[in-house]
Amino acid sequence: MTEENDTTPGGTMSRSRLLIGVAGLALLLAGVSAQTGGAAASTSTAAVLAQDDAVAAGAAVYADNCATCHQATGLGIVGTFPPLVGNPNAADAEYVEETVRNGLSGPLEVLGVTYNGEMASFSDLSDDDIASVVAFVGSLADRDPSAGPSTDPDAIEPGDIGEGRDLFQGSNRLDNGGAACASCHVAGEVGNLGGWSLGPDLTGSVETFGGEAGLTGWLGSPASPTMSPIFDDKAITPNEIADIVAFLGDAPTQSRPSDPGDGLILAGAAGFLVLLGGMAIAWRGMRQTYAERLRSKR
C-alpha cells in the first residue's frame, strides 16, 4: 500500500467551517432554483394541451393514471380501452367523477363499438386531482375523433416471432435507441438466469392487455412511470411493436430454460472464490516484511 502517513491537525477549523456552511447554503439555493426551473419547463408541455389551470393540472394526473389504458392521445384502443376523445360521456362531469372514484365494469358502447372490460377504482386520488382530471377529460370530449383510433386492429401487420425475440433481448437494437425489453423484463424463453428482473414477467402480457391490439396500442406510447421517461423520445416503431407483440403472443407456449441453481449467483460466487484464492497465493509471497527478513538474518 502506498498511503501517506500524515496526521490530521485538530483545532483552528472554525473559520473554514463557517466558510463551508456559507458555501453550502449558497449552492443549496442555486440547486433549488435550478430545480424549480426544470419543473416549470416540464409542466409547460401540459399547458399546451389545456387552456386553464385546472385542465393543465388534470393533464398531469391523466398522464400518470389514465394514459396507460386510454392512451396519451385520449383515443383509447379500439375494442379494448374506450376512447375519451369525442366520447359524450366524457363531457358529463358527474359520470366521469363517479367512474374515477368507483371504477366501471361490464358492457359499454362508445362511438358504436362495444367494450366489456374492467376499469379499476382510482379512489386514492385526492379530491383536487379528481376535480382537475374531470376537467381535463371534459376537454377531451369536445375534440374531433376523426384522427381515428390510435390502433385499428385490422391494420396491424403480423409480426415475426424470431425478430421479436431478437428485439426483446437486445440482439437487435430498437431503431430509436430505446432500452431492450430484456433489460427489465423476462418473457417466454428469455429467462435471465433464474428469472428475477426489475420489471414484471411479460409472458402473459398479451392476455393482460386484452389481446394483441391492446398491447400494440400500449407499446405505441408506454405510459408506466418507469417506461414513459425512457420511451417518450425514443418511440418503438410500428414494425418493431408488431414483432415484439408476436413474440410475446407466442411466449406462453415457449419453455423457459430451467435454471434451478440460479446461474448468476453461482457464477458470481465462483468468481469471488477465485479472487480470494488468488489472494491467498499472493499472500504467501508477501508474508514477510523487509524488517522481518532483516531480523531473521541475525
Partner 1 sequence: MTTNELLFGVFPYVAVALMVVVAVIRWRRHPFSVSSLSSQLLESRQLYWGSIPFHWGISLILTGHLLALIVPRGFELWNGEPLRLYLLEATGLALGLWAAFGIFMLAYRRHTNSRVKAVTSPMDHLIVLIIGAQIVTGIWIAVGYRWGSFWGTSVFVPYVRSILVFDPKPEYVDPLPFVLQTHAFLFWVFLAVFSFSRLVHIITLPLGYLTRPWQKVVRMRETPAVYHPAAEKPLERTQ
Binding site for partner 1 (CB under 8 A): 1-9, 16, 19-20, 23-24, 26-28, 30-32, 34-36, 38-39, 42, 169-173, 177-180, 182-184, 190, 192-193, 196-198, 224-226, 229-230, 263-265, 267-272, 274-276, 279, 283, 286, 289-291, 294
Minimum CB separation from partner 1 for residue 20, in Å? 5
Minimum CB separation from partner 1 for residue 8, in Å? 5
For partner 1, the closer CB: 174 or 245: 174
For partner 1, the closer CB: 114 or 226: 226
DSSP state of 196: -
Give me the helices (H) in the chain, please.
14-49, 53-65, 67-70, 88-91, 93-102, 127-141, 161-169, 205-208, 212-220, 227-231, 238-250, 263-285, 290-296
How is residue 171 written as a grid cell?
Answer: 440482439
Cα–Cα distance measured from residue 266 to residue 258, given in angstroms and rounded to the nearest whole number: 15
For partner 1, the closer CB: 112 or 287: 287
Minimum CB separation from partner 1 for residue 191, in Å? 10
For partner 1, the closer CB: 48 or 286: 286
Q: If 0-12 CB within 10 Å is exposed, 13-18 middle and 19+ buried, where does residue 254 land?
A: middle
How is residue 215 written as a grid cell?
Answer: 398491447
Residue at 83: amino acid letter: P
* 65-71-74-78 Cα dihedral, nearest 10 degrees: -130
Counting every residue, how long is the chain?
298
Give me the phi and psi of 104, to 5 degrees please: -155, 140
DSSP state of 12: -
Minimum CB separation from partner 1 for residue 277, in Å? 11
Minimum CB separation from partner 1 for residue 2, in Å? 6
For partner 1, the closer CB: 40 or 155: 40
Minimum CB separation from partner 1 for residue 65, in Å? 13
For partner 1, the closer CB: 48 or 279: 279
